[in-house]
Amino acid sequence: MSIVAGLLIFFALAVVFGLLLGYAAVRFKIEGNPLAELIDKKLPQTQCGQCGYPGCKPYAEALAKGEAEVNLCIPGGEPTMLEIAEILQVEPKPMDAEATAPKPRMVAVIDEDICIGCVLCIKACPVDAIVGTTKMMHTVIEKECTGCELCVPVCPVDCIDMVIEKTSLKNWKWPEPTVAAETQK
């Protein structure tokens, strides 16, 4: 009988706490800024920090509040800047020269023979694409690497190189029609 009573008490407590948590979730729900959510969906989600913000979400929130310029997203380039300017109904601003030139997708590659295991690159990587431990060699998970190049300047032995991603069936794309039309002229 005492086992059944104990089980009933635990079941009753679980129901009470479940109801309290459900009520608290509804009562204290925090609404996000829908404009920031829309802008965040347009950003490339590389979390590289090249815009001066720690990630795409904080940059989107700053844009929604009017605290940031629309032309700071280097990986998104001009197409992303134009979409954000249209959403915010502001004048597009010219991108930096390095941002306007389209670059192929790059990934980091660590020369494991030179790597000293200082873990500075692991700390700099915003998407945890570098694995390794202190005083052991490190390596990059290519499919996780966003090509933000934040790991390159912190490496004290220059063992990290940015290389063009190898073309495979998963990342190959048709060439732009305008490029093909211009080459025929």
CA distances from 7 to 16, 44, 55, 146 (A): 14, 51, 47, 51
Name which of 28-37, 57-66, 165-174 the model is least confident about.
165-174
Topology of the domain comprising 34-100: 3-methyladenine DNA Glycosylase II; Chain A, domain 3 (1.10.15)
CB atoms within 10 A of CB 126: 16
Q: Which percentage of the chain shows pLDDT scores above 90?
A: 42
98 vs 91: CA distance, rounded Å: 21
Domain boundaries, the chain: 34-100, 104-172
CB of 80 closer than 8 Å to CB of 91: no
pLDDT grade for 96, boundaries at 50, 70 and 90? low
149-185 pLDDT, tens digit per residue, is 889 999 999 999 999 887 777 777 777 666 544 555 5
Reply yes or no on domain 104-172 having CATH 1.10.357.140. Answer: no
Same fold, 34-100 and 104-172: no
Tokens of 89: 């109904």
Asked if 155 contacts 89 with a C-beta cutoff of 8 angstroms, the reply is no
> Please, what is the Cα angle at 64 between 37 and 92, to 5 degrees?
110
